[in-house]
Amino acid sequence: MSDTEHNPEPETDTTTFADLGIDERVLRALSDVGYESPSPIQAATIPPLMSGNDVVGLAQTGTGKTAAFAVPILSRIDTEQKRPQALVLAPTRELALQVAEAFGKYSAHIPGLSVLPIYGGQAYGVQLSGLRRGAQIIVGTPGRVIDHLEKGTLDLSHLDYLVLDEADEMLKMGFQDDVERILADTPEYKQVALFSATMPPAIRKISKQYLHDPVEITVKSKTSTASNISQRYVQVAHQRKLDALTRVLEVETFEAMIIFVRTKQATEDLAERLRARGFSAAAINGDIVQAQRERTIGQLKSGALDILVATDVAARGLDVERISHVVNYDIPHDTESYVHRIGRTGRAGRSGEALLFVAPRERHLLKAIEKATRQPLTEMQLPTVEDVNAQRVAKFGDSITESLNSDNLALFRTLIEDYEREHDVPLADIAAALAVLSRDGDTFLMPPEPPAPPRREREPRGERPPRKFDEGPKFGREGQELATYRIAVGKRHKVAPGAIVGAIANEGGLRRSDFGHISIRPDHSLVELPADLANETLEALRRTRISGVLIQLTPDQGPPGHRPSRDGGKGKFDRKPKRDRY
């Protein structure tokens, strides 16, 4: 079987959505959300999908591929049939939610249509009730879809459309067996769309085996980052980041801002510290329920909130025009994450500002970002104490000017004049006392920086013996303490480290940086994960499957006679097998 090759022309200015033969109700919804003309992947993909062809789309994230497969499905769905007609498989729950939200926007004018996201970490009750109501479009992660298939709560026997979104990511995360199992449960004659950033042999194999004479479409992005985004960096030591961020927030003029950090706990910690300094800030991360996420984003859109502290996965699909600044408080370890992050600003043709905090030991990551984006970042000097204080004085003056227009001015003038006559105190002193009162004990001006301590010459140090693997607590890349957990899959199940990382990260909402060593034994494996995993995360991971096997994750107690460690009995490795680091 030979694929039909199709490389779309980058110029799609003359093509409109109305030219693509899509349903008029979908066309109206696209107009409502501000879509004017299709992107290259949309212009090339929608016509063959509307004609009933299978499609393989090679495109990076951010090229508009969600609309490329959602629009044809919505144009051809039968709302009279209360059964699953379309299934979209996504590698992570965040992407599944993002895709489901997009389907919801594009189907705003289609009555009787139901879109249901199903993913690990969410209670089964919500998903079961949605399936019983007859959702026509299911967007899910492979593990949870298989759970429903095994329970008999999801019937794919009459499926008309199947989409594999970010297929290469699904395979990297170890979902190949799950994907093939799901494909085997679907009718032979259905329309399939496969989207991937790359075409490794495993993706090519799936395409040959499960797609019928697909049209292959390749879209390459011309630039990695938008030219309307100004990119700067600040070199700052880790322990001074909060002070540096505070200075930037006080001096820089911004409308709304996203601050990216690496861990879920860091979002809460930083948002709380910013609120304590008087800034309007909130956190979003993988642990926040969808309803709260929507409320927080709604506040950001309306102007009730100015600063959002987020992890990469929590900010996927976030599109708020007010965002004028993106701050990389923690530098990302991969350049693709950096491009995704700063793409949250400069939307709808507006200009945007991207600021990157770089610790001295992270300069290699800065160089990697500059090389990948082909754009040098401009070094920015942090605002000085004098800059901050001048801004505070200016804002104080502005607040006085604004208050002069208050309806309560006459009342308070009378009270102040009475106080002046009664206590014989100058008006200037009374005004100063009221200003002090308004500060609630906080200092007004930033104190001068202390002099730098004299540098000490480093003494030469001798060779230190390497620390044994089982000595003392271990720590991850982000400084969190790690503990060892046991999972019920091993070499006989033919699992690879990538499959373990992918499944646990997806179902537990973890990042690759949360993993320590992985040791695969004959009938089980040992994995280092954060010692403070929440109970709901542990429960979700116990129900996670790898290669169709329940992993039954539990804290490892070590071999017989193993001495409990400092982390309350969660055992550590006691010998040194070959390990993979993630």
Q: Average the pLDDT over 302-324 and give the result.
A: 85
Contacting residues for 146 by C-beta, under 8 A, at least 6 apart: 178, 181, 182, 545, 548
Average of per-residue pLDDT values in the chain: 81
pLDDT above 60: residue 402? yes
The predicted pLDDT at position 404 comes to 84
Q: How far apart are CA 310 and CA 299, in angstroms?
A: 15
Q: Is the separation of the CB atoms in 65 and 165 below 8 Å?
A: yes
Sign, CA dihedral 35-36-40-45, equals positive
pTM above 0.95, yes or no: no
Q: Which residues pair with 526 in a beta bridge?
A: 486, 519
Q: Among the listed ranges 54-63, 278-287, 448-457, 485-494, which one has the minimum average pLDDT value? A: 448-457
The predicted pLDDT at position 355 comes to 94
More confident residue, 433 or 313: 433
Strand order in the sheet with 378-379: 281-284, 307-310, 256-260, 323-328, 352-358, 229-235, 378-379
The predicted pLDDT at position 464 comes to 45
DSSP notation for 410-423: HHHHHHHHHHHHHH
pLDDT tens, position by position, 316-350: 667 788 899 999 999 887 777 788 888 888 776 67
The predicted pLDDT at position 377 comes to 92
Q: How far apart are CA 466 and CA 476, in angstroms?
A: 18
The predicted pLDDT at position 468 comes to 40
The predicted pLDDT at position 476 comes to 62
In this structure, what DSSP letter does residue 539 have? H
pLDDT above 80: residue 528? yes
The predicted pLDDT at position 238 comes to 84
Q: How far apart are CA 183 and CA 419, in angstroms?
A: 82
pLDDT above 90: residue 87? yes
The predicted pLDDT at position 356 comes to 95
pLDDT band at 15 (very low <50, low <70, confident <90, very high): confident
Kindly report the backbone phi and psi dihedral angles of residue 89, in degrees, each rounded to the nearest multiple of 5, phi listed first.
Answer: -95, 130
**Which residue's structure tokens are 């990389």?**
328
Contacting residues for 245 by C-beta, under 8 A, at least 6 apart: 259, 274, 327, 329, 357
Angle at 253 between CA 249 and CA 255, to 5 degrees: 95
The predicted pLDDT at position 193 comes to 95
DSSP notation for 206-233: HHHHH-SSPEEEE---S-SS-TTEEEEE
pLDDT band at 383 (very low <50, low <70, confident <90, very high): confident
Kindly report the backbone phi and psi dihedral angles of residue 42, in degrees, each rounded to the nearest multiple of 5, phi listed first.
Answer: -70, -45
Q: Average the pLDDT over 62-74 and give the result.
A: 87
Q: Which two tokens stand for residue 8?
A: 């779309």
Strands 115-118 and 517-520: unpaired
Q: Average the pLDDT over 496-517 and give the result.
A: 81
Q: How far is CA 361 from CA 236, 333, 460, in A?
A: 10, 13, 21
The predicted pLDDT at position 2 comes to 42
Q: How far apart are CA 553 and CA 486, in angstroms?
A: 6
The predicted pLDDT at position 478 comes to 57
pLDDT band at 451 (very low <50, low <70, confident <90, very high): low
The predicted pLDDT at position 330 comes to 92
Q: Average the pLDDT over 138-166 and give the result.
A: 93
Q: Which two tokens stand for residue 53?
A: 């062809």
pLDDT tens, position by position, 89-135: 998 887 888 899 989 999 999 999 999 999 887 888 889 999 999 99
pLDDT band at 304 (very low <50, low <70, confident <90, very high): very high
Amino acid (one-letter) located at 276: A
Q: Average the pLDDT over 135-161 and give the result.
A: 93
Q: Average the pLDDT over 297-315 and give the result.
A: 88
The predicted pLDDT at position 60 comes to 65
Q: Is the separation of the CB atoms in 356 and 286 below 8 Å?
A: no
Determine whether 145 is exposed, middle or buried from the number of CB atoms within 10 Å of its CB (0-12, 13-18, 19+): buried
The predicted pLDDT at position 440 comes to 61
Q: Average the pLDDT over 75-88 and give the result.
A: 95
Q: Which two tokens stand for residue 12?
A: 């799609």
pLDDT above 90: residue 136? yes
The predicted pLDDT at position 224 comes to 59
Domains and CATH numbers, the chain: 4-218 (3.40.50.300), 229-384 (3.40.50.300), 474-581 (3.30.70.330)
pLDDT above 60: residue 575? no
Residue 385 has a CB neighbour count (10 Å cut-off) of 13
Q: How far apart are CA 446 and CA 476, in angstroms?
A: 35
3 state SS of 462? coil
Q: How far apart are CA 242 and CA 249, in angstroms?
A: 10
Q: Average the pLDDT over 405-430 and give the result.
A: 84
Highest mean pLDDT among 131-135, 204-208, 275-279, 431-435: 131-135
Q: Which two tokens stand for residue 521?
A: 């034994």
CA atoms within 13 A on the CB side of 8: 26
Chain-centroid distance, C-alpha 252: 25
The predicted pLDDT at position 393 comes to 78
Q: How far is CA 201 from CA 191, 197, 205, in A?
A: 22, 13, 6
3 state SS of 543? coil
Q: How far apart are CA 90 and CA 194, in angstroms?
A: 11
pLDDT above 60: residue 69? yes
Q: Among the listed ranges 108-122, 294-308, 437-451, which one has the minimum average pLDDT value? A: 437-451
The predicted pLDDT at position 474 comes to 67
The predicted pLDDT at position 10 comes to 41
Q: Average the pLDDT over 271-284 and give the result.
A: 91
Q: Average the pLDDT over 497-524 and give the result.
A: 83
pLDDT band at 351 (very low <50, low <70, confident <90, very high): confident
Q: Is the separation of the CB atoms in 488 and 558 below 8 Å?
A: no
pLDDT above 70: residue 580? no
Please tell me the chain's helix, strand, coil percentages from 3-state DSSP, rounded to the nearest 5.
Answer: 40, 15, 45
